[in-house]
Amino acid sequence: MNDLVFVSLNRRKVDEVCAILAMYSIRVSVANVKRKEVQSDSLEEIALEGARYAASLILRPVIIEDAGLFIKSLNGFPGPYSSYVFKTIGNKGILRLLEGVEDRSAVFKSVVAYCKPGHEPLCFLGEAEGWISNSERGESWGFDPIFIPKEGEGMTYAEMGYLRKNMISHRKKALEKFAHWYLNQVK
Amino acid sequence: MNDLVFVSLNRRKVDEVCAILAMYSIRVSVANVKRKEVQSDSLEEIALEGARYAASLILRPVIIEDAGLFIKSLNGFPGPYSSYVFKTIGNKGILRLLEGVEDRSAVFKSVVAYCKPGHEPLCFLGEAEGWISNSERGESWGFDPIFIPKEGEGMTYAEMGYLRKNMISHRKKALEKFAHWYLNQVK
């Protein structure tokens, strides 16, 4: 059952995904393939195309994971381009765009796409609703220091630490859906 | 010589590109093909892949044009994702990110990619250096109301109007390079 390959260049994401899949006894190999991502306002489309491409290259069943932070008052920005936005304007840029803005609600979305070579890819969506904090809190990567999930008792993802984050996160929810489907397939 | 197809869904861009190419007596048909854009920090890569895909679909020689505004103090943001950023946080978002920032320098880049079906695509880069204004000035589309080109005598693209903008813009510079090459090919 460990012929599944997780494709990612992001070491932090690899750690999270492997830890979550381990809860379902799913083991994966990791491949550092440079993905060819499509530009799209839809995370699903990006992940599906990415999985299809990776499977055709690696010739083994693959999963990839794409995540995006969608801030309501910014019309969904940074959304599917979260990683580029993080690299350029960072958390400080997001906080600046929200200075004095009352509605700080946001959704963190994760899409896990699975593809077997020669087959159509499938995807699984996980969402965590929450808010953007007023300042960066906690040490972590990406937008974790500024995202407060509804189920987080007021803490940011970064303040919660991995163990607690991995119980409730958008990534956990997407991987949980995938795991249920996958374990049913390979039974 | 008018078997060349310009692929774009953006009516304003079509008008500009056709007006500029007309200066070189190059006529194009316009196709409203929904492009499959790759996610990349490189405008060139996005345009080259887009042209290759469009040519394989339309089966005629195509050009496409991609532009991006690269703001120095924002590490190149919004760069290749300019159109998504414009749709979400808009000019007001950019101005907010630059509040109190001294270095307002920016480069507007345009890449024109040409592809003949079955051939490798080529691309032509045009750049206009300039600054981001302190407020929106003039009526136009995209970032034109906040970009002051060095050659614009202090006016934003939007204040200059199309005729003057089309003499000096990043898009003009890229299309000029393309036109010289293209006219040489078809002689």
Residue B64 CA to residue B35 CA, distance in Å, equals 10
Residue of B nearest to A47 (CA): B39
- Closest in B38, B39, B75 to A88, CB measured: B75
Q: How confident is the model at residue A34 (pLDDT cuts 50, 70, 90)?
A: confident
Chain A nearest C-alpha distance from B153 (Å)? 29
**CB of A119 within 8 A of CB of A96?**
no
A141: distance to nearest CA of chain B, Å?
A: 18
Taking CB atoms and an 8 Å cutoff, what residues of chain B touch A87? 75
Q: Which residues of A touch B74 (CB under 8 A)?
A: 88-89, 93
Number of domains in chain A: 1
> Residue A119, SS3?
coil
pLDDT (0 to 100) of residue B141: 86
Q: Does A100 touch chain B (CB under 8 A)?
A: no
Q: Residue B48's pLDDT is what?
A: 93
Active site residues of B: 66
Q: Determine the distance in angstroms separating the CA of A1 from the nearest CA of chain B, rounded to an integer.
A: 32
Q: Three-state SS for A83?
A: helix
- Among the partner-chain residues A37, A41, A89, the one whose CB lies closest to the CB of B38 is A37
Stretch A96-101: mean pLDDT: 96
Give me the CATH number covering residue B99: 3.90.950.10
Q: Say if the ipTM goes beyond 0.85.
A: no
Q: Do B81 and A77 touch (CB under 8 A)?
A: no
pLDDT digits (tens, 9 = 90+) for A132-187: 999 999 988 899 999 999 998 999 999 999 999 999 999 999 999 999 999 998 76
Asked if B85 has any chain A CB less than 8 Å from its own CB, the reply is yes
Helices A170-186 and A11-22: angle between axes, nearest 10 degrees? 50
Of B41, B76, B97, the CB nearest to A93: B97
- Torsion B82-B83-B89-B94 (CA) sign: positive
Percent of chain A with pLDDT over 90: 84
Contact between B6 and B64 under an 8 Å Cβ cutoff? The reply is yes
Q: What is the 3-state secondary structure (H, E, C) of B28-64?
A: CEEECCCCCEEECCCHHHHHHHHHHHHHHHHCCCEEE
Residue A89 has pLDDT above 60, yes or no: yes
Range 120-159 of A in CB contact (< 8 A) with B: none
A17-40 average pLDDT score: 87
| Domain ranges, residue B127 | 5-186
Do B88 and A97 lie within an 8 Å CB cutoff? no
Instruction: Tell me if chain A has a CB within 8 Å of the CB of B68.
Output: no
Tokens standing for residue A35:
């993905």
By percentage, how much of chain A surpasses pLDDT 70?
A: 98
pLDDT bucket at A101, cuts 50 / 70 / 90: very high
B46 in reach of chain A (CB within 8 A):
yes
Chain A residue whose CA is closest to B38: A38
- Of the partner residues A77, A84, A96, the one whose CB lies closest to the CB of residue B96: A96
Q: Does B38 touch chain A (CB under 8 A)?
A: yes
To the nearest whole Å, the CA of A163 is away from the closest chain B CA by 32
Answer whether A84 sits within 8 Å of B46, measured CB to CB.
no
How many helices (DSSP H) and strands (DSSP E) are in chain B?
A: 6, 8
Kindly give the parts of chain B with pLDDT less than 70.
Answer: 1-2, 187
So what's the pLDDT on residue A187? 63
Give the residue from A9, A38, A39, A42 with the most B CB atoms within 10 Å of its CB, the best one to mutate: A39
- Inter-chain contacts counted by CB atoms under 8 A, chains A and B: 67
